[in-house]
């Protein structure tokens, strides 16, 4: 509920990361040394847009670390349509961005978006590189080491997001922010997520709701869609099992069908499957089962 109030990716050892939060912290401000929204008025145009099945490649982080090309081929055979990458620093997994995007396209996979350690310092270079590779979105996947202890901290980050969004817009790229659950812990009488929404320009900054984290934090995504229409253009579909961990889409408790009823109000353009724990089987198996459920029940 709403309450008041450059990194050497080619040599990076992804397997040593204990979780996404550790990975995100490792990215932060190191990338700053590299020199490199839809408004609610737009939402009516989305009603005619077919929703495609996408996947955030962090779901297959070990597979992508070991064999990116082979993993992408398997996703194409499964029938995924779109991709969201992670770790973009002007390249993808140590590979030329344009060549990587072209390889995806040859497989019938459209590289739409990437999570990235974007900052004030590298925003222009990253946005230009993303545009040259044909991306539509760059997403800041967390606070990435920025201060997050007070409401003022989040206001300052919102200001930076506006500047990053302006740099992205100038390059023809859309910029967004992906949440976890810490943004829903009240600070100085306000929810940080609410601060970010209020303090950012809808024409410059969109939001990528991770439905799992929102639900786990006790929030109702539909209340946000109603309060800030048109701001939530890309979604992470991540389900929650009985143990609280992520699971195959359709095997958990997240009400994807209900939330998708408000897709136009939210401003939804793309969905990306994401899973971080794999009690039900190997990551590729989980990715395939999630896709089968989505195609049968959500698209």
Q: pLDDT tens across 48-85, in order?
A: 478 999 999 999 999 999 999 999 999 999 999 999 99
Answer whether residue 13 is part of any domain.
Answer: no
Taking 90 as the threshold, does the pLDDT of residue 8 lie above it? no
pLDDT at 41: 41
CATH code where residue 159 lies: 3.20.20.150
Answer whether residue 5 is part of any domain.
Answer: no
**Average pLDDT value over all residues in the chain:** 89
Beta carbons within 8 Å of 46's beta carbon, 6+ residues apart? 38, 263, 264, 267, 268, 269
Q: For residues 93 and 83, is the Cβ–Cβ distance under 8 A?
A: no
* Alpha-carbon span 248 to 277, nearest angstrom: 9
* Alpha-carbon span 101 to 191, nearest angstrom: 37
pLDDT at 176: 98
Answer whether residue 209 is part of any domain.
Answer: yes
Answer whether residue 6 is part of any domain.
Answer: no
Answer whether residue 8 is part of any domain.
Answer: no
Domain range for 54: 23-297
Tens of pLDDT along 245-292?
A: 999 999 999 999 999 999 999 999 999 999 999 999 999 999 999 999
What domain count does the chain have? 1
pLDDT at 108: 98
Answer whether residue 193 is part of any domain.
Answer: yes
What one-character DSSP code corresponds to residue 273? E
Answer whether residue 120 is part of any domain.
Answer: yes
CA atoms within 13 A on the CB side of 54: 24
Please report, to the nearest 10 degrees, the dihedral formed by the alpha carbons of residues 163, 164, 168, 174 taken in order.
Answer: -110
**Higher pLDDT pick, 289 / 34:** 289
Tens of pLDDT along 94-151?
A: 999 999 999 999 999 999 999 999 999 999 999 999 999 999 999 999 999 999 999 9
* Alpha-carbon span 102 to 220, nearest angstrom: 38
Answer whether residue 11 is part of any domain.
Answer: no
Is residue 212 helix, strand or coil? helix
Cα angle, residue 161 at apex, residues 160 and 166 outer, rounded to 5°: 100
Residue 299 pLDDT class (50, 70, 90 cuts): very high
Beta carbons within 8 Å of 178's beta carbon, 6+ residues apart? 115, 139, 140, 141, 142, 207, 208, 210, 236
Taking 50 as the threshold, does the pLDDT of residue 211 lie above it? yes
Placement of tokens 């389900």 in the chain:
239
């Amino acid at each position: 509920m709403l309450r008041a109030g450059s990194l050497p990716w080619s040599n990076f050892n992804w397997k040593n990361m204990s979780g996404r939060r550790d990975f995100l912290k490792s990215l932060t401000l190191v990338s700053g040394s590299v020199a490199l929204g839809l408004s609610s008025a737009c939402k009516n145009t989305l009603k005619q847009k077919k929703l495609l099945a996408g996947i955030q490649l962090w779901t297959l982080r070990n597979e992508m670390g070991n064999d990116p090309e082979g993993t992408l081929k398997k996703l194409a055979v499964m029938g995924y349509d779109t991709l969201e990458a992670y770790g973009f620093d002007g390249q993808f997994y140590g590979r030329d961005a344009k060549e990587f995007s072209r390889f995806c396209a040859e497989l019938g996979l459209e590289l739409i978006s990437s999570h990235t350690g974007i900052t004030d310092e590298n925003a222009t270079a990253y946005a230009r590189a993303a545009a040259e590779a044909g991306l539509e979105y760059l997403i800041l996947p967390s606070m990435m080491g920025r201060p997050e202890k007070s409401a003022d901290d989040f206001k300052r980050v919102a200001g930076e997001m506006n500047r990053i969004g302006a740099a992205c817009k100038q390059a023809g790229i859309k910029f967004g922010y992906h949440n976890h659950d810490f943004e829903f812990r009240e600070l100085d009488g306000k929810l940080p997520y609410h601060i970010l929404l209020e303090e950012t320009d809808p024409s410059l900054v969109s939001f990528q709701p991770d439905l799992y984290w929102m639900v786990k934090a006790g929030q109702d995504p539909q209340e946000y869609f109603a309060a800030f229409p048109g701001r939530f253009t890309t979604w992470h579909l991540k389900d929650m099992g009985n143990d609280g961990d992520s699971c195959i889409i359709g095997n958990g408790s997240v009400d994807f069908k209900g939330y998708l009823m408000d897709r136009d109000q939210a401003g939804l353009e793309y969905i990306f499957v994401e899973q971080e724990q794999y009690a039900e089987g190997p990551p590729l198996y989980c990715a395939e089962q999630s896709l089968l459920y989505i195609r049968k029940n959500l698209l």
